[in-house]
Amino acid sequence: MGKNINIDWNELGFDYIKTDFRYISVWKDGSWDDGKLVEDNMLTISEGSPALHYGQQCFEGLKCYRRKDGKIQLFRPDQNAKRLNNSCRRLLMPEIPEEKFISACVQVAKANEEYVAPHGTGATLYIRPFIIGVGDNIGVKPAEEYIFCVFCCPVGPYFKGGVTPVNFMISDYDRAAPYGTGAAKVGGNYAASLLPHENSAKRGFADCIYLDPATHTKIEEVGAANFFGITKDNKFVTPKSPSILPSITKYSLLYIAKEYLGMQVEERDVYIDKIYEFAEAGACGTAAVITPIGGIEYKDKLHVFYSETEVGPVTKKLYDTLYGIQFGDVKAPQGWIIEISSDS
């Protein structure tokens, strides 16, 4: 440790970059071992591992941010721990104690602190915890051994030249089945999204929007992000459905809209043929915080919300507040921030 790394923070995208340390813990004979930091970024697993064949794996994504005072901090890792455990229950995988999850993220961030960009660059350290079912197996059944790993990569700011809207198209594909795994962060959902994403990119859209799988009338997900709209009478509205991945960013924005901006908030059905009720719309998630939605193409027509080139005023306020909290410039609600100091 202590080596000087040479990264142009402004040129960083969202790509794998090998950092120095990752955390590994193994579940065997009914319990997790103590876990440790290791330098090797290769995993050696049985060719029969259920993660490889039957998708018995799940993951999370969160970030470590550098504050103005030079300290680094995590944003709501307890929420990622809870969501990972929800995914584990859905796939019959052993849960990770919340403290073990948070401790692993803290250890990885601290051990790779040189990769956390200076404050003001907008770059962050992306942390990727995951669990895979491993071991000799061929039948469709849960694994008998599991690996919990947390690694990290420095990533650039999502918006390099300021927050700008992009357009999305409605997909004919579904990302999740009505009582399937849509609310769990499991790899299979993302494998299923590759083709619809590519189709929308080929047509010049940033990504596609998935409607509810049962009726195809309600907005569910915006690519790998949740949807929100600001109604013409200034309410923050976001879809409610059991097949949406519960976005930590979305629930943070719901809180900010209500408690910081004094707005009314609603989690409810959002019908695609009623999107004219919104003055502004956005996609939210850890990667970008908020991606303003310029317009949505549905049945060959593009519906534009606020503007195709400029972010709307409410979306901007929401973005600035949450971004400020994450980087330590705006006071966070109690319990949202885990500060990583040299003795943590």
Q: Which residues bind ligand PLP (CB under 6 A)?
A: 61, 221, 224-226, 245, 247-250, 285-286
- b/e code 10-47 from CB counts within 10 Å (16+ = b): eebeeeeeebbbbbbbebeeeebeebebeeeeeeeeee
Minimum CB distance to ligand PLP smaller for 143 or for 245: 245
Minimum CB distance to ligand PLP smaller for 107 or for 243: 243
β-pair partners for 24: 36, 149
Minimum CB distance to ligand PLP smaller for 137 or for 226: 226
DSSP-derived pairing of the beta strands 289-298 and 166-170: parallel
Distance CA 49, CA 241 (A): 32
What is the smallest separation between the CB atom of 33 and ligand PLP, expressed in angstroms? 28
What is the smallest separation between the CB atom of 62 and ligand PLP, expressed in angstroms? 8
What is the smallest separation between the CB atom of 245 and ligand PLP, expressed in angstroms? 4
Burial class (CB in 10 A: 0-12, 13-18, 19+), 62: buried
Minimum CB distance to ligand PLP smaller for 112 or for 286: 286
**Residues belonging to the active site:** 185
What is the smallest separation between the CB atom of 79 and ligand PLP, expressed in angstroms? 7
Q: Which residues contact 115 (CB under 8 A, 6 or more apart)?
A: 5, 7, 17, 19, 20, 125, 152, 153, 154
CB half-sphere exposure, 330, CA atoms < 13 A: 15
